[in-house]
Structure 1
Amino acid sequence: MAPIGPASVLAPSVWERLREHTPARIGLGCCGVGLPTAALLRFGLAHAQARDAVHVPLDTAALVHALRDDGWPEPLVLHSRAGTRRDYLLRPDWGRRLDEASVRLLQKMRGHGPSPDLVLVVADGLSALGIQRHAVALLRAIRDTQAPDWVAAPPVVVEQGRVAIGDEIGELLGAQMVAVIIGERPGLSSPDSIGIYLTYRPRVGCRDAQRNCISNVRPEGQDLITAAKRLMWLAREARRQGCTGVALKDLSGLPLTGAIALDAADMPKTLTNQRR
């Protein structure tokens, strides 16, 4: 057996080239029965970032200000029945319904003008970080892709909201469709990912099977422009077919994420053998 010295420990491996193509934790190596120190520290950092993404509150004032500066009409700021972040995490059902003040506000608005074709709801969800970073740019991409003859409502910002809260908002506004843009549960390589949930004829009590989900929306996943195009393709088809969810298939042909091309020379022999 060849001796193991500093040169062999530090020599670049084929796994380093593979790691350039993915954020997944592959080929980390070992130090005795544990991970090398550098890999362990990176894991600890990713875990802390994921925990922070869940607990850090949404800066609603900054988000509303950014939407105004981007040319949107005055956003509606609503709140779920979860009064605190602790309530939100312990009682998911409270995050699915609006508080009384928010319900009264939407009830006053209904009937003033035509019913909207699509309501865009922005909720903090489980990653306010993702919403803070990407929501304004995503809404801009949606606006640029949306049909000009559609009746649009002002954007709605919900604090301590979950996906189903869009059902009540859409029902109270008499909307044909609602798209909830929400911070997704963070992973160890994606603390700022957001998802889009489209529901046709929203009403309280809709099931998840009645929604179409566009997930992993972030620059490193499904880019914002592609996600916006996918949403509007689904929305147009939802109007034509009168449904969303399992009854509406995504036949847009749009890519889910950027293609990753790997040369066979960059892959360990064990992997190339498996491919065959």
Structure 2
Amino acid sequence: MSKELQHSNQVQEDPWSSLRAFTTARIALGRTGTAIPLREVLSFRLAHAHARDAVYSKLDITLLMEQLQPFHTGTLLLHSSAADRQEYLQRPDKGRRLDTESVNTLHTLPAALLQKDVAIIIADGLSATAMNIHTLPLLTQLLPMLKAAGISTGPVCLVEQGRVAIGDEIGTLLQAKMTLVLIGERPGLSAADSMGAYFTFNPKVGNTDESRNCISNIRREGLQYDTAAGKICYLLQEAVRLQLSGVGLKDNYEAAGRLNT
């Protein structure tokens, strides 16, 4: 092999390579000649495979039921109108509405389980992997905060093949003031297990996205559980105080924290 060819195959580090310590984004990849180094090509393919796996992952119902039991909230198993994953991906509208059996389940609940401040919904979304990993750590932080704040919760709803807007129908049938939908976010090429938290004041079918608030990237490498739980609890309290959610509700959680210290 000629020296010229050997030299062209060497990986040339990027001047920004030190910044990779602060982000998982694909920056400062370096180069081999005019190409991306092989290690980065393989890393990209692995991340893409993880993302595809996340989209087709399933809620571990048995695990989640066991994890939720110590909270004594009660659990409801529900399903969207999407019959399977293929239909869920091809028909987003069906992921936003409950199937007939689930509607009947909510219609027959005793009055003691209705009219709570917030209905908590756990949905697979586009990464059930995220929900299997992060549901317990987040709720361990969040539920005591809600109780201390005087925010009442009903049974936790586990929803298969669900999208964010399915919380509107569930909240309406539970006659809840608010819904909190914890859902697996669309996986990216640096995070296949990200959880999002969407909450809506006065949930009703037909609500659009400007009526919701979102806290995103809840995971060990992103927004930490204690911070996410604090933000959620703060914003739910503000939603009750102001009687609204969405674009009219501003996230002043950090500012409020500084004022209280």
What TM-score results when the alignment is normalised by the length of structure 1?
0.85
Instruction: String of CA shifts for 1:55-83, please: whole Å, max 9, x gaps.
Output: 12221122112211x43333111000011
After superposition, the CA RMSD in angstroms is 2.1
Does the CA contact (< 8 Å) of 2:121 and 2:180 recur in 1? yes
| Counterpart residue type for residue 201 of structure 2 | Y
Instruction: String of CA shifts for 1:120-164, please: whole Å, max 9, x gaps.
Output: 100000001110110111111111211443321011110000000
Instruction: String of CA shifts for 1:195-216, please: whole Å, max 9, x gaps.
Output: 0001001011111110011111
1:231–1:137 CA distance, 2 compared to 1 (3 A): same
What TM-score results when the alignment is normalised by the length of structure 2?
0.90
Counterpart of 1:146 in 2: which secondary structure? helix
Find the counterpart in structure 2 of residue 26 from structure 1: 27
Instruction: String of CA shifts for 1:33-91, please: whole Å, max 9, x gaps.
Output: 321111100011001101110012221122112211x4333311100001100010000
| Counterpart residue type for residue 99 of structure 2 | D
| In 2: Cα distance, 1:81 partner to 1:152 partner | 25
Percent identity between matched residues is 45
1:81 aligns with 2:81: yes
1:106–1:204 CA distance, 2 compared to 1 (3 A): same
Does the CA contact (< 8 Å) of 1:29 and 1:36 recur in 2? yes
Equivalent positions of 1:136-215 (< 5 A) are 136-148=136-148, 149-215=150-216
| In 2: Cα distance, 1:192 partner to 1:84 partner | 21
| Cα shift at 1:241 | 0.5
1:54 aligns with 2:43: no
Structure 1 range deviating more: 88-97 or 143-152: 143-152
Counterpart of 1:229 in 2: which secondary structure? helix
- Structure 1: give runs of 5+ residues left out of the alignment: 256-276
| Cα shift at 1:183 | 0.2
1:166–1:132 CA distance, 2 compared to 1 (3 A): same
| In 2: Cα distance, 1:72 partner to 1:173 partner | 18
| Cα shift at 1:110 | 5.3
- Structure 2: give runs of 5+ residues left out of the alignment: 257-261
| Counterpart residue type for residue 85 of structure 1 | R
1:112 aligns with 2:112: yes
Does the CA contact (< 8 Å) of 2:183 and 2:195 recur in 1? yes
Does the CA contact (< 8 Å) of 2:73 and 2:153 recur in 1? no
Counting matched residue pairs gives 251
Find the counterpart in structure 2 of residue 131 from structure 1: 131
1:177–1:126 CA distance, 2 compared to 1 (3 A): same
Equivalent positions of 1:247-258 (< 5 A) are 247-253=248-254
Instruction: String of CA shifts for 1:212-231, please: whole Å, max 9, x gaps.
Output: 11111111111111111111
Find the counterpart in structure 1 of residue 219 from structure 2: 218
